[in-house]
A and B are shown apart, each in its own frame.
Chain A
Amino acid sequence: MAEQKTMSEDELRERTRALLAEVHPEKVDSVTFRRKQFDHGLAWVHFPEGHGGLGLSPKMNVVVHDEISRHSKVIHHDPPASIIGIGMGAPVVLTYGSEKMKKEMLPKIFSGEEIWCQMFSEPGAGSDVAGLAMRAERDGDDWVLNGQKVWTTVAHLSRWGMLLARTDPDVPKHDGLSYFVLDMHAPGVEVRPLYQITGEAEFNEVFLTDVRIPNELMLGKEGQGWRVAITTLMNERVAIGGGGSKKKGGGGIAQLQKLWNERKAGAHSAAQEAILRDRVTRCWIDHELLRLTSQRARAAQKAGNPGPEGSVSKLAQAEMNKRMWETAIDVLGSDGLAFEAGYELKQTAPRADTPEQLAKYQFLRSRANSIEGGTSEIMRNILGERVLGLPGEPRVDKDKAWKEVPRS
């Protein structure tokens, strides 16, 4: 990563106003505005100049957001389907991609014109993602891929996939992996929806049959895929655990508080109300401490990619979310028995127009928080072993060739 530059807050605000003078969020669509924002180096100020940034500290990003919101009622936020591209795709392309890839891909990631997905997990390899089986074999200037990925969020909308595949089964698992950027429109890529607890399908199964990827779309060198993947996974944890709400009492807890304050009179006895109020307050405390801890972590974070500390927020947030939405259902009491949105199997989220419906949806959706992006058990292992330095579990797969390790 290039050396960090310094710029005064005033100057950054001035540059943001220059952007707003050229295009104003209230007058143009999201793509148009975000393209210009990228060109001005105001997409991610901690990225280098020419690649959407100004080479500043990541802390300065908030200045840009603040200045935009001072001058515009319309905010073109990160498009929801672009969370993976922005949170994980952009940093990995920046760190390992060729100049050509950076030039072509980064602007479209930020503008939302191209959606990215992450294709790591397979039916046999989730927590142990380095144990994955998808094969990539060299053929001239291309690699030929065969196998199956699973749980691939937004694959059905994606233009590009960050993909990890096995290029050498004869060495220990971490050493035989390589990292590719897959064109999701390439022949042989088949995406099938996978429905989840809510009835919607955020994720998919993706089948690859003789799919060709040009060698130039490999990130890092052959056999170094694991190191590249680590960058993605650490960024994923930050993107997911990314630190709660920006404001005290904002985000999810505001929803719970609203539910509580607008609860039906008489639905609970006085004794139950006292218990529920305490539970809501505990959730509020957890929520606030998550926000403060993330704030502290951000302040400590130097430029560059995050380390294992990301797992603290990821773990805390996952467990807190589940508790928070369980509490919400208990606040609703008997009304929690109804699920107004119904369970239609489709690729979009069910309707959640009211705080009640949102709570019911989140009650179900939050169960994935302790699974997606690394399970809570794996987060605890990381904290125990990599942060606290506790001894690891006995390993049966460490120095064996991948093909000799038992798999289910």
Chain B
Amino acid sequence: MAIDFNFTDEHDELRATIRAFLEAKSHEDAVRTAMASERGFDDAVWKQMAEELGLAGLIIGEEHGGAGFSYVELLIAMEEMGRALLCSPFLGTAVLSSNALMLAADETTQKDVLPGIASGEKIVSLACAEPGGRWGLEGVQMQAALSGDECSLTGTKAFVLDGHVADVLLVVARIDGGIGLFRVESDASGLRRERIPSLDLTRSLATLHFDATPARRVSAGDASAALERTLALGVAALAAEQVGGAQKCLELSVDYAKTRLQFGRPIGSYQAIKHKCADMLVEVEFAKSAAYNACFAAAEDAEDFLESAALAKSYCSEAYFHAAAETIQIHGGMGFTWEHPAHLYFKRAKASELLFGDPTHHREVLAGLVGI
């Protein structure tokens, strides 16, 4: 069935509410303060997002204290957050970890953790990638050790979103010849966490070291399929965030091109600049189609969801990076300064391109899925 890309009035309202909230709470000064802070985001804003807007539990079922919305609402939220360069644990906690729990964890764990996420009280990180740098499950080498009923983890997890501040860690490791999901408490013995000095200051990442760290297996059997879908859902959400960032870059560029005069004319009257803006527009529109398609496919549980997610991540990554790079160029010397926001988008764009697998990785996945 063809996906209809119609947003309802409720959707538009949700978007307007989130935009207004973020304009008030994640304006440029707020972003700069948050990114320089120790935790990497503003706790008060995160609490408000959870309590006032119900965003932390947006896709969590009502039975677990969430809003029970679908990926269409999520795409709207991600797009707005990308636009505002929000610094927050949303992607790691409300998207990745919520999905991992809902798809792969046992009921006890869901009951125990999901309400805490929805209420904004718990920050939860999914730790999957390892220092080798591969994002898919094929990159997971950590092997869970079993002795009797006790389970422990040893090794390193890399690029863990908000891993330095998480209250609960969900760790992906090998067990019984398959993949399992393990719960580790933040004060567990043998756990060491370091925040990575990141290229993109607006998103915090951590490296986690485990040394015979006690863990509890929360998935049954081989959780590969569930976690693969979790990762793909993360990818689709990130693509929507990239669209929001790219759209904002386009707007910044067009506004500047209309108002900046050189040689007595707006720079946007020169085709060199006008065509850059027009090309950005085409790419942003394509990126929207890609990201919306992936998120609608997730919402409808469409059978080509994995395909759509890979397509979206590969296209949106490049569109965003290109838009951000052109934004610097169109702003001239100003675009290269610390005080102008262009560099914040540029760094977010590059880091998002690398996060969860770069475009060549996702094209390779897509090629396999569609038989190229």
Do A and B share a complex?
yes
Question: 0/1 per residue, B333-372, Cβ < 8 Å to A?
Answer: 1011111000100100011001100101100100000000
How far is A33 from B188 in the complex, measured between Cα atoms in Å?
63
Of A88-96, A211-219, A242-250, A336-344, which stretch is located at the interface? A336-344
Q: B329: which A residues are within 8 A, CB to CB? A: 367, 370-371, 375-376
Docked-complex contact A267 and B346, CB < 8 angstroms = no
Docked-complex contact B350 and A151, CB < 8 angstroms = no
How far is A131 from B262 in the complex, measured between Cα atoms in Å?
8
Docked-complex contact B270 and A377, CB < 8 angstroms = yes
Docked-complex contact A264 and B132, CB < 8 angstroms = yes
Docked-complex contact B199 and A126, CB < 8 angstroms = no
Docked-complex contact A151 and B333, CB < 8 angstroms = yes
Tell whether A127 is near chain B: CB-to-CB under 8 Å. Answer: yes
Docked-complex contact A272 and B205, CB < 8 angstroms = no
Docked-complex contact B199 and A338, CB < 8 angstroms = yes
Please give the distance in Å from A172's CB to the nearest CB on chain B.
11
Docked-complex contact B333 and A266, CB < 8 angstroms = no
Number of chain B interface residues as a range: 35 or more
Please give the distance in Å from B322's CB to the nearest CB on chain A.
11
Residue of B nearest to A151 (CB): B333
Residue of B nearest to A395 (CB): B263
Docked-complex contact A196 and B337, CB < 8 angstroms = yes
Please give the distance in Å from B59's CB to the nearest CB on chain A.
25
Docked-complex contact A408 and B259, CB < 8 angstroms = yes
How far is A172 from B267 in the complex, measured between Cα atoms in Å?
20
Please give the distance in Å from B356's CB to the nearest CB on chain A.
10
Docked-complex contact B328 and A367, CB < 8 angstroms = yes
- Near B by CB (< 8 A), chain A positions 389-406 give 393, 395-397, 400, 405-406
Residue of B nearest to A368 (CB): B336
Tell whether A166 is near chain B: CB-to-CB under 8 Å. Answer: no
Please give the distance in Å from A370's CB to the nearest CB on chain B.
6
Please give the distance in Å from A51's CB to the nearest CB on chain B.
33
Question: 0/1 per residue, A115-150, Cβ < 8 Å to B?
Answer: 000000100111110010000000000000000001
Question: 0/1 per residue, A4-32, Cβ < 8 Å to B?
Answer: 00000000000000000000000000000
Please give the distance in Å from B271's CB to the nearest CB on chain A.
9
Docked-complex contact A338 and B198, CB < 8 angstroms = yes
Docked-complex contact A334 and B259, CB < 8 angstroms = no
- Near B by CB (< 8 A), chain A positions 331-383 give 333-343, 345, 360, 363-364, 367-368, 370-372, 375-377, 380-381
Which of B133, B205, B335 meets A333, CB within 8 Å?
A: B133
How far is A404 from B31 in the complex, measured between Cα atoms in Å?
41
- Near A by CB (< 8 A), chain B positions 179-207 give 196-201, 205
Given A127-B263, A272-B361, A408-B259, decide whether A334 and B338 contact each other with a Cβ distance below 8 A. Answer: no
Residue of B nearest to A333 (CB): B133
Docked-complex contact B335 and A371, CB < 8 angstroms = yes
Q: B198: which A residues are within 8 A, CB to CB? A: 337-339
Q: A131: which B residues are within 8 A, CB to CB? A: 262-264
Please give the distance in Å from B257's CB to the nearest CB on chain A.
11
Q: B41: which A residues are within 8 A, CB to CB? A: none
How far is A272 from B367 in the complex, measured between Cα atoms in Å?
13
Q: A381: which B residues are within 8 A, CB to CB? A: 272
Tell whether B158 is near chain A: CB-to-CB under 8 Å. Answer: yes
Which positions in B face A, CB cutoff 8 Å?
A: 129, 132-135, 158-159, 196-201, 205, 259-265, 267, 270, 272-273, 325, 328-329, 332-333, 335-339, 343, 346, 350-351, 354-355, 358, 360-361, 364
- Given A338-B196, A395-B264, A405-B264, 12 other A-B contacts at CB below 8 A? A196-B338, A197-B328, A271-B360, A276-B360, A334-B354, A336-B354, A337-B205, A338-B199, A367-B329, A368-B333, A400-B264, A406-B261
Enumerate 19 A-B pairs (CB-CB under 8 Å) in ascending A order: A121-B333, A126-B262, A127-B332, A131-B262, A197-B336, A197-B338, A264-B132, A264-B133, A266-B132, A266-B133, A333-B133, A334-B159, A337-B205, A343-B201, A371-B333, A376-B329, A377-B272, A400-B264, A407-B261
